[in-house]
Structure 1
Amino acid sequence: MPSQRRTRLIGVLVIVTIIVILYMSKGAHQTQNSDFYTKTQQALQEREHQEAARQRDAESVKARLSAAEEQAKKAADDKYASTKEAVEGPKKPIAGRLEIDNKDDKKSVPGVAAQGGRTHEQATMLKDETLEDHEAEQEMNAILKKSPTIIFSKSYCPYSKKAKHILLEKYKIVPEPYVVELDINPLGPKLQDLLAHMTGRRTVPNILLVGKSIGGGDDMEELDETDTLVNKFKEIGSTRITEIEHRGARAEVKRQRRAA
């Protein structure tokens, strides 16, 4: 049986333990209700919210970048496919003009390359194409829509003057030939480069009939002197040339011959 001293000691220890527990519980409760504790908890929660918001923003930016990369890749693939079709597919003249069938050697123009799609050399230069090159192509497309007959000329060139005199004054051609003075046009040098790639002919004059070069001043003079220019235009121009005849004396002689 325990002594009274031990019993009192145990009682004292129990009372002290109860007091300590009550004190600590009260202190913890007061700490949770204190301004410092409340502000600390709010700051921690705000920080967690900010971290979550930054993570959402990062994921959103990543998604947008991924979508932009996909769109850029698709655009690049479309451009590559378009370029490949222009290089490897059926040749199509500029401005959508129909390509003349030159299976018959007699119909082809000696020494002059037929107009068609881009050559392999041109296609490989696409990546180096400048804004001025692109503008020249657009200008060429617009020019070729003006008339089935285009006279690329230079205002000071005597051979150009000869070709213009024959086609504009000696003959009546409907639709009327359209003249481009390369020394006056702001894109003249680029247009001349483009003509060289299109037709294989860099010199002026360069006469295009439905998108194909039929020669220069000497060629027009020869066709006129041999009285074959009308047939040449009808043969190559087909239905695009609605009317062509020689003006003046030669036309009158022909009418007299038909009447006789």
Structure 2
Amino acid sequence: MPSQRRMRLIAVLALITIIVIVYISRGAHQTHGSDFYTKTQQALQESQFQEAAKQRDADGVGSRLKAAEDQAKKAADEKYDSKKVAIEGDDQKGVAGRVKLGGDKVPGVAAQGGRSRDQAIVKEDETPEAHEVETELNLILKKSPMIIFSKSYCPYSKKAKHILLEKYRILPEPYVVELDLHPLGEKLQALLAKSTGRRTVPNILLLGKSLGGGDDMEELDETETLVAKIKEMGGSRITEVEHRGARPETSHRQARRS
């Protein structure tokens, strides 16, 4: 049998073990119930909540920014598409070089190259100044089927205006643009040179195509072929054209036949 001393030692060790366990358990319980532990836990929970709220806000801002960008892009696309106009016409090149108008437009309006401001197609590489000049040219072309680009001091321009405005009756009446008096005159003349190949004035345009200059009008008048030429190029847009003097086209044809 174990001795009494050993039994006492075992009993003492068991008692010490029990006391230590009880102390540790009580200390842990007190720690969980302390103000420091409670505040620390609350601070950790609040920090986690704030981080989660920031993440949600960041996700919301990103979604709103993306939605705003998509809306702006859609609006820009719609604005660009609204400016595009596909117009069917014949094979003749317009003055502006990009748009052709068909025969179903209002009579008396220049067909070739004529475009309103809301129909203009803006190229990506086109400067605002170039677009302004082209828009102005197209607005001028809508004034009448026949446009006389002139300069007030030019004798050849005066000759062409005398023939077309005084010697002949043309309806709708030709519209005269004095380039030396127009604020965009030089730029308009440069654009006309590029699109029609004629760099000088006068430059008479009929439905956006160059009919010629002063010498050409004089030659057509002297050969009595101006009326036929205007009718040929103007078609139904020219409602009336005749010589004001004693040389109507019919008399000229009868004389040639006889």
- TM-score, reference length from structure 1: 0.72
Q: Distance in 1 between matches of 2:73 and 2:36?
A: 53
Sequence identity of aligned pairs in percent? 49
Closer/same/farther in 2, CA of residues 50 and 180 from structure 1, 3 Å limit:
same
Q: What letter is aligned with 2:18?
A: V
1:23 aligns with 2:27: yes
Q: Distance in 2 between matches of 1:244 and 1:129?
A: 39
Selected match of 2:221 from 224, 227, 233: 224
1:238 aligns with 2:235: yes
For residue 8 of structure 1, report the CA deviation from its aligned partner: 2.6
Structure-to-structure mapping, 1:75-86, within 5 angstroms: none
For residue 207 of structure 1, report the CA deviation from its aligned partner: 0.4
For residue 154 of structure 1, report the CA deviation from its aligned partner: 0.9
Closer/same/farther in 2, CA of residues 97 and 165 from structure 1, 3 Å limit:
farther
Q: Distance in 2 between matches of 1:91 and 1:159?
A: 27
For residue 31 of structure 1, report the CA deviation from its aligned partner: 4.8
Per-residue deviation, residues 42-97 of structure 1 (Å, max 9, x unmatched): 133212321343245346545765x479759978x979xx79x99xx966525744
Per-residue deviation, residues 153-196 of structure 1 (Å, max 9, x unmatched): 11111111111111011111111000111111222122112211
Q: Distance in 2 between matches of 1:177 and 1:73?
A: 40
Q: Distance in 1 between matches of 2:209 and 2:181?
A: 23
8 Å CA contact 1:148–1:210 kept in 2: the answer is yes
Q: Tell me the equivalent position of 1:44.
A: 48
Q: Distance in 1 between matches of 2:206 and 2:68?
A: 51
Q: Distance in 2 between matches of 1:47 and 1:127?
A: 46
1:176 aligns with 2:173: yes
8 Å CA contact 1:230–1:244 kept in 2: the answer is yes
Q: What letter is aligned with 2:150?
A: S
Per-residue deviation, residues 112-152 of structure 1 (Å, max 9, x unmatched): xxx78xxxxxxxxx554211211111112111111111101
Closer/same/farther in 2, CA of residues 97 and 41 from structure 1, 3 Å limit:
closer
Number of aligned positions between the proteins: 226
Question: Aligned-residue CA RMSD in angstroms?
Answer: 3.8
Bigger RCO (CA 8 Å, 6+ sep): 1
Gaps of 5+ in 2: 104-111, 114-122
Q: Distance in 2 between matches of 1:40 and 1:192?
A: 78
Structure-to-structure mapping, 1:35-74, within 5 angstroms: 35-58=39-62, 61=65, 67=70
8 Å CA contact 2:160–2:202 kept in 1: the answer is yes
8 Å CA contact 1:159–1:204 kept in 2: the answer is yes
Q: Tell me the equivalent position of 1:109.
A: none
Q: Distance in 1 between matches of 2:126 and 2:155?
A: 33
8 Å CA contact 2:31–2:37 kept in 1: the answer is no
- For residue 202 of structure 1, give the secondary structure of its aligned residue in structure 2: coil
Q: What letter is aligned with 1:39?
A: A
Q: Tell me the equivalent position of 1:151.
A: 148
Selected match of 1:204 from 179, 201, 207: 201
